Structure 1
Amino acid sequence: MRLPVLILALLAPLMLAACGTPRVLELSQAPRQDIAGKVEIYVATTREASAAPVYFDGERAPKLAFAKLEITVPRSHKPGELELPDSGPGDPAKHFTATNIERLDLAPVVADVRREIMRRPAGQRDVLVFVHGYNTNFADAVYRFAQIVYDSGFKGVPVLFSWPSRGQLLAYPYDRESAYYSRDFLEANLRGITRDIGPGRMDILAHSMGTILTLETLRQAAIRGDGAFGGKLRDVMLAAPDVDLDVFKTLMNVIRRPVTVFVSADDRALDFSRRFAGDKTRLGAVSTKDAPTIAELEKLGVHIIDLSEVSSGDSLNHAKFASSPKVVQLIGERLRQDKGIGFAGPQLGDRLGDIAGGVVGTVGSTVGLVVTAPVTIISGGR
């Protein structure tokens, strides 16, 4: 098979899910009666600044830029769904919409976030940093993070780290290089949060290709001698990580801290990535039936949460961590607990009913979720 034909064959499933014009942030008014709530997000980005309604494009900037956004959630919103228009401005009653975007310099954004931290009760003075994945433009990253924050019930300060993905299906090599380009910037951002803002704790949630950026950053932070960021870093959650399994193991040998990994054996995007990257297993598609691999990962401090049996509105099965109400609520509840999302010990752990207020059955049932260590089994639908 000739190379162009092979590439088209690999890309076909992704192309079907990636149609439409690039999303932008068109500001709109949102009457109070039309919305269920608002999410305020701070942004640190290595994207090049651009004119509205793009604001930050897919090219690489020489330094970090900062912004603050207000996103409204439609009253008709259903947990796990990201209601956006096919094109054009959104209707606040039906869609997530942006109502305010403010670019900020470093000193003002630090002061603003510090005020937000201090006005919260002591138990809510946390920062959640989200690192998005491949083929994601700025607007898509903002809206997805707003949905995660709202559905998880997170009460701390959300910070989006947005790196220069061009948001184009065929820009996979450029995006990957952009992730590596952003390592020093992400480390500087994380150190600034823990040193200058004063959160109670800092958690990181990274998705897809954003996980290699996160892991490389944690590796170099560990080499510098402070991989815990002054003791402030708590949970590191990797959702559908687009990371070579062998590379991940070498990184973890240096990072030496617990991480939680959401995997799904039916992830079609990672299946493409595997074939594109030389038929090497991606971490996010590890099978929990592979006992030797799971045991090896456990020794490295990895907690696997298997989402293979979770149904999702995502046709590629690549965003289950956000599109399943049970899973995103589990993340939120664990973030509210001092012990975080990590699970330890040989005994059966928490049931979803205990964690997120749902009704579940026992191990092997078809209606719920039961956590074991190190493998989480999730059954049933969304």
Structure 2
Amino acid sequence: MRAVVRYVLTAAPEPDRMDVITTALTAAIADAGTGAAYTMLKSRLTGKSPRVDEAISDLEQDPGSLSRQFAVSDALAAAGLAGDRYLRAAARNLVEEVDRRRTLRPVTDLPGGVLQVFFTTDRQPTGDRHPARQFGAARGEISYGTCEVAIRRSAGSEEPALPTLLRPQSRHDPDGHAVLLRSDIELQAAYFSKLADTIAHCPANSALLFVHGFRVSFEDAARRTAQIASDLRFAGVPIFYSWPSQGRLSGYAVDETNVEWTLPRLTSFLIGLLERTQVAHVYLLGHGMGSRALARAVADVTAARPDLAPRMRELILAAPDVEAEAFRRDIAPALTAAGGRVTLYASSGDDALQVAQRTRPYPRAGDSGDALVVAPGVQTIDASIVDTSLIRAAPDTAQRSALADMRLLISRHLPPSQRAGLQAVDIPAGRYWTFNEQEIP
């Protein structure tokens, strides 16, 4: 019999744990990555080390990620740059510049809280007690548990607290990012018992299962799941499945291999979620490469256990990194066989999908334009003018998120014809939908 081991990991990521260069880069990127001091510091770092260049590029995508901040700090140390006095002086100037800009802007104290998020992962534990480093990029056995994530709510939201809100949170990340505070690893039986009980006590008796895409760490997956649940105002239990993505730009080929490797484990977990809880509705959301595993897992469960299929209420694929022809020919018919609703948000501008476009010769199901996939039973939405990254954008960004439309889809079960901001486009292959920029919610 396996020994019972329970880990309780708490995060106390203090700013002084990071070197001053990483701290400066993070602050500037979160502040829109502009200004002479940032440009100067980045130019001095560029070309010194491929690892540093990549780590900065990864951080620019999500400056709220502690795992990405650690990657920059580790890369600077490995390259012998962390102690460079000229770089450190430039970094201090940059911190002062960002602080000056911040003091000129009005402070908006948005409401926030700590959400409980359930997880399953087949990443290998690292043994590090910091939750941002708890699981690495290597393959491992299945682990189960829960996370506590501090989130900042969207402005203007006056709706009731989320079902898995544990407590109010007064200490926010100054830039509004979600923060992973804690992670508990549970044994399988205890995990499913806790999950079933939590779902049973939610008025909606529902769950949201998120499967992340390429270039995402465990920490990033936890943060995004909590923020997605908050932005959707999801009335059920948020869950994420984290497969062993390398979490960096150069990891695409390895990620492709690992997302295929994870498929049977994800399928098994989905069956377990439906069998071992009394959840009435499961909403399934996959992004990028994660859509590849999630779509096939849903198709496999539908074929093997048609009795479970009706409880998979919605399948939402955001910028799916799946070969378009394979999706149209094989996956879409399997997904729609049981009558479930499938929604595909296409966007060739999605950052993760752009990597696929550069490295793979065939169109992806998430591509827009001439390659847009229109298939029977699939509601295709050209989301090119909105953000499909599922990363919480800066508060002052002008770009709207596809999550606004997903919220109407999930909370009110509205078809595209009844969702504000969408308009129909008819082509020989069928009908698809696009966002009307003037009416985006």
Same fold (TM over 0.5): yes
Q: Distance in 2 between matches of 1:298 and 1:321?
A: 28
Following superposition, the deviation at residue 221 of structure 1 comes to 2.5
Matches within 5 A, 1:341-360: 342-343=415-416, 349-352=417-420
Following superposition, the deviation at residue 333 of structure 1 comes to 2.9
CA contact (8 A) 2:150 2:180 kept: yes
Matches within 5 A, 1:107-126: 107-121=189-203, 124-126=204-206
- Partner of 2:385 in structure 1? 309
Determine whether 1:267 maps to 2:350.
yes
- Partner of 1:319 in structure 2? 389
- Partner of 1:332 in structure 2? 407
- Identify if the C-alpha distance between structure 1 residues 101 and 283 changes in structure 2 by more than 3 Å, giving closer, same or farther: same
Greater Rg, structure 1 or structure 2? 2
Following superposition, the deviation at residue 100 of structure 1 comes to 2.6
- Which of these residues, 124, 130, 154, is aligned with residue 48 of structure 1? 124
Q: Distance in 2 between matches of 1:55 and 1:268?
A: 26
Paired amino acid for 1:128: L
CA contact (8 A) 2:212 2:290 kept: yes
- Partner of 1:70 in structure 2? 148
Determine whether 1:128 maps to 2:208.
yes
Determine whether 1:220 maps to 2:300.
yes
- Identify if the C-alpha distance between structure 1 residues 372 and 246 changes in structure 2 by more than 3 Å, giving closer, same or farther: closer
RMSD between aligned residues: 3.1
Deviations 1:235-288 (A, max 9, x none): 00000111110111222233334411001243354233123112x11111132x
- Identify if the C-alpha distance between structure 1 residues 268 and 76 changes in structure 2 by more than 3 Å, giving closer, same or farther: closer
CA contact (8 A) 1:25 1:98 kept: no
Runs of 5+ unmatched residues, structure 1: 1-12, 27-32, 80-90, 313-317, 344-348, 353-367
Determine whether 1:24 maps to 2:107.
no
Paired amino acid for 2:321: D
Deviations 1:196-255 (A, max 9, x none): 11111111000000011112212332442x256252111000001111101112222333
SS of the equivalent of 2:310 reads coil
CA contact (8 A) 1:39 1:149 kept: no
Following superposition, the deviation at residue 188 of structure 1 comes to 1.2
Deviates more, 1:239-248 or 1:214-223: 214-223
- Which of these residues, 364, 376, 379, is aligned with residue 433 of structure 2? 376
CA contact (8 A) 2:173 2:179 kept: no
- Partner of 1:38 in structure 2? 114
Deviates more, 1:51-60 or 1:199-208: 51-60
Determine whether 1:138 maps to 2:218.
yes
Following superposition, the deviation at residue 78 of structure 1 comes to 9.0
- Partner of 2:34 in structure 1? none
Determine whether 1:243 maps to 2:322.
yes
Runs of 5+ unmatched residues, structure 2: 1-52, 70-108, 158-170, 394-398
Q: TM-score if structure 1 supplies the norm length?
A: 0.73
Following superposition, the deviation at residue 74 of structure 1 comes to 3.3
- Partner of 2:92 in structure 1? none
Question: Which is richer in helix?
Answer: 2
- Which of these residues, 348, 359, 362, is aligned with residue 276 of structure 1? 359
- Partner of 1:286 in structure 2? 368
Q: How many residues are aligned here? A: 315
- Which of these residues, 129, 147, 171, is aligned with residue 227 of structure 2? 147
Deviates more, 1:139-148 or 1:318-327: 318-327
Deviations 1:117-166 (A, max 9, x none): 12222xx1101100000011111111111111101100100110110001
Q: Distance in 1 between matches of 2:139 and 2:217?
A: 13
